Amino acid sequence: MRCKLLFSLLVVSLVGFSSFAGASSLSKVFKRVSPAVVVILTKERGYSSLKPGEAVTVTKGGLGSGIVISEDGLVMTSAHVVQVADSVVVRFLDGTTAQAKIIGAAVRADVALLKLDHLPEKLVAAELGDSDEVNIGDEILIIGAPYGMGHTLTVGYMSGRRRPETVCKSLVPIEFLQTDAAINKGNSGGPMFNKNGEVVGIVSHILSQSGGSEGLGFAISINTAKELLLNQNSIWTGLEAYLVSGALARALNVPQEAGLLIQRVANDSPGERLGLKPGKVPVKVAGEQILIGGDIVLEVQGIPISDDFRETCRIGDKTVGQNRRGITDMKVLRGGEIVHLSVTSETSP
């Protein structure tokens, strides 16, 4: 009887030690990688409606997270955090800040690449891992700035792999890693680490009925992010657009089945240099707030905009592989007239 009791006490002690050792290991990983995690602060233009048909320009602040991936100042974050930002500031663990430029984005995969304007002293870069090596059930760590509270650690498990279907053969297949780790507003763009402290994903979004974390979070796999941002010529456009078709297209006098209604254009972006004009009048259509009054893109590179995904693929097929000095041509509807826009630039959209 005494032997059984001693054996039971030994098992309990070992289990307790194992849990403590695991917590200690997570603490060490957090301390090692946290300096590479940053807070992303953005400013962008928006419009506020005072009266029906009237609007006033306002400046809005945005918040996200990011991860330094190289000692020469490259930072990964989410595309939706910076896509239409007029300015981007990166804040480090010690409170110092640096301006950054957006040099690449893959909106479909919700990932973007920034370059710091100047390098702070003792810049720490994270190590990028192999997301193919992460298995369902593996423990993962997420560090970010939920609701602005920087360098917050949440821990969970890899819950699944999600690969959205695509009909475009030339597009790189994207993969999202699903997790039950807590993800909230401000975590977007932050890193997902494996237990070795290697980045295996960039936090993208959650599925939630309450608006807060409900255990369904998604991060773009780091292998997808590396392929799109580091191995290819990803180009940031600085544009946000809304596809109009059917009755709405007819109401806006679009002379074809569909068009892209320009919502916002970031300062000093390829979209702005191309001359695209954003909407300025906020209206609600089918419960969704959009901006009207801006350009409606009808054609890109001679291919009409359509709500048929196959036509969208044709545009992608024609532009994929173009170097950054390629010519961008667009036909837009502006104030009831057809206008042709063209630009030759190292950063053509």
- Examine the residue annotation and report whether 65 is marked as an active-site residue of this protein: no
Q: Tell me the two tokens of residue 126.
A: 């994270």
H or E element at residue 226 = helix 222-229
Q: Count, in order, helices (H) and strands (E) of the chain.
A: 6, 21
As a whole number of Å, the end-to-end CA separation of the chain is 77
Instruction: Count Cβ atoms below 10 Å from residue 81 Cβ, excluding itself.
Output: 24
Could you say which of 65, 80, 131, 159 is catalytic? 80
Segment 251-302, tens digit of pLDDT: 999 999 999 999 999 999 999 999 999 998 888 888 888 999 999 999 998 8
**CA dist., res. 84 & res. 105, Å (int):** 11
- Examine the residue annotation and report whether 188 is marked as an active-site residue of this protein: yes
- Domains, in order of start, for the chain: 35-116 (2.40.10.10), 127-229 (2.40.10.10), 239-344 (2.30.42.10)
- pLDDT averaged over 10-residue windows placed end to end, the chain, 349 residues: 46 45 78 97 79 67 96 97 97 96 94 96 96 96 95 96 70 89 95 97 83 82 96 89 94 95 94 93 87 95 84 62 60 95 62
Could you say which of 65, 78, 86, 110 is catalytic? 110
Could you say which of 65, 159, 188, 234 is catalytic? 188
- Examine the residue annotation and report whether 80 is marked as an active-site residue of this protein: yes
